Amino acid sequence: MFPSIDDKRMPILVHLTELRTRLLRAAVIMSIIFLGAFYFAPTLMTWVQAPLYSYFSPSKMTWVASGLSDITFIFLSPAEAFWNSIKVAAVVAIFIVMPYALYELWKFAEPGLRVHERRFTLPFVTLCSTMFYLGISFCYLVVLPFALNFLVGYGIDAGFTPQLSIGIFVGFNLWLLLVFGLIFELPMLMTLLAKLGLVDAPWLRRYRKWAYLCFFILGAILTPTPDPFNQTLMAVPLVVFYEVGIVGARFFAKPAKFEAPHIVQSTNQ
């Protein structure tokens, strides 16, 4: 459909036109998915509320009641419930269409890549999408039920009556889902940087303590609430995946090319 990106005479406008066309396809598909998700918005809202009312039991492979099923939600403005249904449907559409959007971006950049880079990119995009969905699943099944039941239960034990705004509650849940989806991308990012020769495992180990400090600072910034509990809940997975990224960087690092000069020098001597 489009000229090769390797053509040096190809104007930049053609590149932008191709990129716009590919992004427009992804936007059309996302709009269709959004309309379908908005139709099922009441069901999606019950899924958003599920981590508060229950928690997932891996041994029974089912949801177990948490004891907070009597908590009701309120809305503080006439349009709050409606806009939160739109928000949930839009986030679901983005999550579903993300692999296709990455595929379109990959097809746009493919002609400018070397042969071995083309073989590496498609598995990398697939793994990135898989890790993103694993992060969302881990947050929904493990992190959200634990965090919500701890925080709301702490308030009840302190003698307060919970009145949860549906807007704040939905924003809290969706933000944590997005952040944990991105956290699970950390090992892939570190492996890619090592593959490109920008970092290596010894360098990552050398600056490990500074990375840990940055993770806890990011945990304080990215969490919807400023309490240290959520900060730690977000920083600990970053620490774990940083160590996983070091292992990936060690196995997939770009080979060093400094042996030949030393061999020549020792031969001359």
> Is residue 234 within 8 Å of 183, Cβ to Cβ?
yes
| Residue 262: per-residue pLDDT | 45
| Residue 28: per-residue pLDDT | 92
Residues of the chain with pLDDT under 50: 1-9, 257-269
| Residue 264: per-residue pLDDT | 46
pLDDT digit string, tens, across residues 143-178: 888 888 888 888 888 888 888 888 889 988 988 888
pLDDT digit string, tens, across residues 78-105: 888 899 999 999 999 988 988 888 788 7
| Residue 33: per-residue pLDDT | 94
> Is residue 245 within 8 Å of 189, Cβ to Cβ?
yes
Burial class (CB in 10 A: 0-12, 13-18, 19+), 203: middle
DSSP state of 143: I
| Residue 29: per-residue pLDDT | 93
> Measured over all CA atoms, what is the biggest interatomic distance in the chain, rounded to whole angstroms?
85
| Residue 263: per-residue pLDDT | 43
Beta strand 73-74 pairing with 164-165: parallel
